[in-house]
Amino acid sequence: MRWPCWPNWWTGGRCTLAEPVVTPYPFTGYLAPEGFLDPLLEELGGAVDHVHGRLVFCPGPPRAAAWAQNVWRAPVMIRFESNGEAARALKSIQRNWWPYTVEHHRRAALITEKLPHVSAKPLVFPSPAPAAPLGSWTLLDRNTMIAAADCSSPFPNGEVTFVEDREGPPSRAYLKLWEAFTLLGRMPGPGDRCVDLGACPGGWTWVLQGLGADVLAVDKAPLAPEVARLPRVSEQRESAFGLEPADIGPVDWLFSDVICYPERLLRLANRWCTSGLVQNFIFTIKFQGETDHDTAKAFAAIPGSRLMHLSCNKHELTWINLAEHRP
């Protein structure tokens, strides 16, 4: 199902104003990842008022939305006549802006040229996330834009990119951990004990070892040889689901990128949570066919939990549960 692009309370029309007019826009915007608009619409349900490309607007303050790559808080509507007016209106609010374009691409580019330059270079891990606020804007028509100075992500349209390592890791799955650690602002280090469930071929183990942690890689299949011979890496050849927490003992970080049905992963997560032996969790919830929103909600309901769709996630969410976020 798709909602119309225009809210019912405003019909548009050419702007003939001498100065831009800035008015509150009584919605919160939720930007879906490329290719995943439908899961976001399903997650937000009847709260959706209208949709502009991948940008979904709902009335009222922000709500939890795991399938939103970026959330536009307290946006405003700006009606303007010229590109210069649009740019001046944005600069009067704050310095840094990034466009989300659906149509009117040429006009959006001309407005962007009049704004201060924002670097969008890929990060070199483990660089910190940008500290400066980054606002987002989009054109509804040639003379009307929606802009939000307060966004949930400091990255352009919520998309995190890295200078990739094309030699060390055995798969591109390592990018998920790089992004999760960057967004969290914390990661394992020397002295931390990590368990990587379903580790083969070893992309996550490679990341953790590179940070100085001790890693137990659990999988029925072997790690890639170049990962297995790294220092501080040990293997345990068995199923992640047959592993008993008490047999492993205290763990600083527990990771899972296992391919399985979400309900089975939830049972695994609850077993380790109940054990009280794990300080921090990062799991990938991989959906088979339709999105299992009920199980996603069950993960989110675990105290201290956060659900998000990372830039390099496919039809999956990342569940994060850190010790300091638990009640």
Q: Model-level pTM?
A: 0.91
Q: List the pLDDT tens digit at each of the 327 positions of the chain.
A: 344 444 444 444 444 446 889 999 999 999 999 999 999 999 999 999 999 999 999 999 999 999 999 999 999 999 999 999 999 999 999 999 999 999 999 999 999 999 999 988 999 999 999 999 999 999 999 999 999 999 999 999 999 999 999 999 999 999 999 999 999 999 999 999 999 999 999 999 999 999 999 999 999 999 999 999 999 999 999 999 999 999 999 999 999 999 999 999 999 999 999 999 999 999 999 998 899 999 999 999 999 999 999 999 999 999 999 999 998
What pLDDT does residue 18 have? 60
* Contacts for 270-277: CB closer than 8 Å, 24+ residues apart: 270/302, 271/245, 272/245, 273/302, 273/321, 275/245, 275/246, 277/245, 277/246, 277/248, 277/249, 277/250, 277/251
H or E stretch at 195: strand 193-197
Task: Answer positive or negative: Cα dihedral of 25, 27, 31, 32.
Answer: negative
